Every structure is written in C-alpha cells, then in structure tokens.
Structure 1
Amino acid sequence: MVLQIVESKEDFEKKLEEAGDKLVVVDFFATWCGPCKMVEPFLKQQSEILKDVVIFLKVDVDENEEITQEYEIACMPTFLFIKNKTREVSLPFQLDEISGANEESIKECWTSTSNPPTTFVEIPFYAVLRLLD
C-alpha cells in the first residue's frame, strides 16, 4: 500500500522532509468517519497510480491531535496539499454533501487539466493537477 500512515508529529515532519520537492497529499481522517471510509479505496488506487510523483499521507485526527490543531483541521476528510514543506491548498471534502460526483469524473481530473472540476468533490484532485504542472 502506498498510502503512508503518520504515527506522530515527528514522523510527519520526517515524511515531509523525505518527500523533497514531490507533492504531498495529506488525508486527515477519523476511523469513525463515514465519508473518510468511502473515499479510501479511491485514494489507495490513486496513490498507487501516482506513486512516482505524489506522496500520500494519512493522519488520524484522533491519534495526532497536535498536527490536526496545527493545521486547523475542522472536518473530515480534509486534504492538505504540501510541496517543499509549504502548504499549498487545503479543502474540506464532504462526500455526504455531494450530488452528481462519481469516481470516473474524479479520475479524469487526475489525468486531464482540460477538464475543470464540475463538483466540489473534484476540486482537491483538480488542485493536485495544477500543482503538478
């Protein structure tokens, strides 16, 4: 599995350092969060596809309160985009509030910058593409 679980603040800092100039997508999640569970299979798949250009980290908000507070995470899942240890974009991603979003349209956003996001669910993934340009 290419999704890396963050164990502590020190582990988080180390993983950011090791990422170098690669884009890092940080998934702030909770084990009890339904939308977090819904998006996980897609994230696993995309982390495998993009493993050479993007680092995917998972931060359990209940186990890593210091990181969660530092980045002011208020809802889950929230995706934070970091490049060169600098916060690029952070958008909440509420699947239970989305209508009309599907996995296929999200996949298109990973591979084509000519397809602007049409639903809120696509915005974080579209942001990744823009950061990779």
Structure 2
Amino acid sequence: MTVHNIETKAAFDEAVKKYPVVIVDAFATWCGPCKAIAPIVAKMSEEERFKDVYFVKIDVDHLPDLSQELGITAMPTFIAFKDGELNGRVTGAIPQEVMNLVTKQV
C-alpha cells in the first residue's frame, strides 16, 4: 500500500465510506514532528499485516474546514475510522501510540 494524499473533503468522505479501515494523518508542511513521523507511517503502510488499512494524509492548512470538522487542534494528529465510524485518535508524533492505534483496527 502507500499513503494517499487527500486533496478535497469529497475525496476524504469517499475514502471513509469505501474502505473498512482508514488511518488519517493530519499534518502541516511546516510541522517538524509531522516530517519526522511521515517515513515511519509510510513504512507502516507497506507492512503486510496492514494491507487492508487505507492510509491517508490531509494537510490541515489546505483543508481547514475538514480539519475543524475532525477536531484537529495539534499536528500531527492520527485518526482511525473503522466501517465509517471514528474509532480512535493519537495526537503527537509518538510512533508506538500510532502503531497501537493502527494495530487495534485490524
């Protein structure tokens, strides 16, 4: 798999509807911790055990309305959706907590 960049709210809504498990990485281009954890999340997205997880990134500055709707107040924030429903979140670039969030979904 890979991490998909979401450019519109419609694309986000479609992903959450279409895929059973979606992990959202809400980031900002100017955010140092976001840049630090991005390669770790990319590696996670390629692991066999997470083959059914759809990983997406949303730029909070590019999609401010969606960011507000999701309640994002700090970056990075990782949000899990399972069967279209919010199923957990982690705020901060904490690899083990992100791994736990993703693992809990499969």
Per the TM superposition, whether the score is higher than 0.5 is yes
Structure 1 counterpart of 2:18? 18
- Give the alignment's TM-score, normalised by structure 2: 0.90
Structure 2 counterpart of 1:7? 7
Moved over 3 A (4+): none
**Structure 2: unaligned runs, 5 residues or longer:** none
Larger Rg: 1
RMSD: 1.6
- Structure richer in strand, relative to its length: 2
Verify the 8 A CA contact 2:26 2:60 in the aligned structure 1: yes
Identity of aligned residues (%): 32
Alpha-carbon distance, 1:131 to partner: 2.4
Higher relative contact order (CA 8 A, sep 6+): 2
Picking from 25, 34, 37, the partner of 1:36 is: 34
Deviation per CA, 1:56-95, whole angstroms, max 9, x where unpaired?
Answer: 00000000011100011000000000011100001201x4
Aligned residue pairs, count: 105
**Structure 1: unaligned runs, 5 residues or longer:** 96-119
- Counterparts of 2:86 and 2:13, CA distance in 1: 13
Alpha-carbon distance, 1:121 to partner: 4.1
